[in-house]
Homo-oligomer: A and B are copies of this chain.
Amino acid sequence: MAISNRSTGEALLFLTDEQLRQGIEAMFFAYRGFTADPDRILDKHGYGRAHHRAIHFINCVPGTTVNNLLHILGVTKQSLNRVLRSLIEDGLVEVQVGQKDRRERHLYLTETGQSLEQELSNAQRARMRSAYRDVGADAVSGFRQVLEAMMDPEMKRAYWKLRDNEGMDK
């Protein structure tokens, strides 16, 4: 291939340690912004980020099992269980014992749960929308490409699986 010497000298400047360090710091600060709005809302209701994640993915895949959720969230079942218990007690999540396999618990948001989910995702989407609008479609495309390339292969599969699910619903 006729890649010139200029490639390493100039075209790949975005791969310098300094550029990478800036990317790392950008991720750190941006993630703080990313979670700031939901955190405030959750705090009002006495919940934390763990509750948000559970609510988000139960809303995204209604009827998902505890085990499925476990793999998506990447925590232990005991950790998830504590969160689920409080959400169930508070009437935000409904449990249905599996019909085919009665070991499984299928999870659904109640109306109250859906209402909180809306409140949370509206806030988070508002910030995301504002950022997207500021930078334009091309930058957004690059953003998504880099994020996907940064995921662990396993997480990438989970991510695509969720995208496919939603695709079918629509």
**Interface, chain A (partner B; CB < 8 A):** 11-15, 17-34, 36, 53, 56, 60, 74, 121, 124-125, 127-135, 137-152, 155-156, 158-159, 162-163, 166, 170
Contacts and interface: CB of A to CB of B under 8 A. Distances in A.
B24 A128 contact: yes
A151 B33 CA distance: 5
Number of copies: 2
Mostly helix, strand, loop or mixed at chain A's interface? helix
Nearest to A125: B20
A143 B23 contact: yes
A14 B142 CA distance: 12
Contacts of A144: 22-23, 26
User: Which 10 pairs show the lowest CB-CB distances between chains A and B?
Assistant: A142-B142, A139-B142, A131-B149, A143-B146, A30-B147, A26-B147, A29-B155, A135-B145, A139-B145, A134-B149
